Amino acid sequence: MRLFVAIDLPPEIKASIGYLRGGIPDARWIAAENFHVTLAFIGEVQSPMMMDISLALGRIRYPSFDLDIEGVGVFGSNKRPRILWAGVRPTPAINLLHQKIVTAIESVGAQVDDRRFRPHITLARVHNSPYEKVRHFLTDHALFKTNTIGVDSFTLFSSHLASSGAIYHEEVSFDLLSPVPS
């Protein structure tokens, strides 16, 4: 099964991001219920390895933190965009959580996608979309911002590919530590 670790988003934030969908011909938009922030992509593993990964992730102790979603952008070149995304403000908190998750996964012998970590929410695949439409979308939504989100957990998801797109299933959710009152 294909696995990844992500921050699931509250329904109201998914709905807010969902309003961005549209206006680009030939874009393959992600269903709003699938919006998430990937912390680590693992890929295909066998069931016993999934159990080892779950146990390793369960040992992570990390405090909850706030997350800000703002702006939009693309992966790929400006002339040949591939992925349209909503941005997540990079912070030391999310970067350190990412590192702890990668270390935990690798400690049990599993591999993690080694691309540079750039927190984001994938909105659409735009391989065949007209460049001008993508550029206008980026300009029109440059100031996009949601309310700040309190992150108090992360989740191990499985992903099943279907003709309608990927179907995500929550396998195990892991709570972060509550902040210590001052």
Cα dist. 45→13, 14, 49, 169 in Å? 31, 28, 6, 15
| Helix runs in 141-179, H state only | none
The two three-digit tokens of residue 157, written as one number: 């998801």
Catalytic entry in 36, 98, 141, 169: 36
Is there a catalytic annotation at residue 98?
A: no
Residues 6 or more apart whose CB falls under 8 angstroms from that of 50 comprise 1, 3, 156, 158, 171
Catalytic entry in 120, 127, 136, 141: 120
Is there a catalytic annotation at residue 120?
A: yes
The two three-digit tokens of residue 1, written as one number: 């099964």
The two three-digit tokens of residue 66, written as one number: 């706030």
Report the C-alpha gap between 123 and 91 in whole angstroms. Answer: 21
* Residues recognised as catalytic: 36, 120
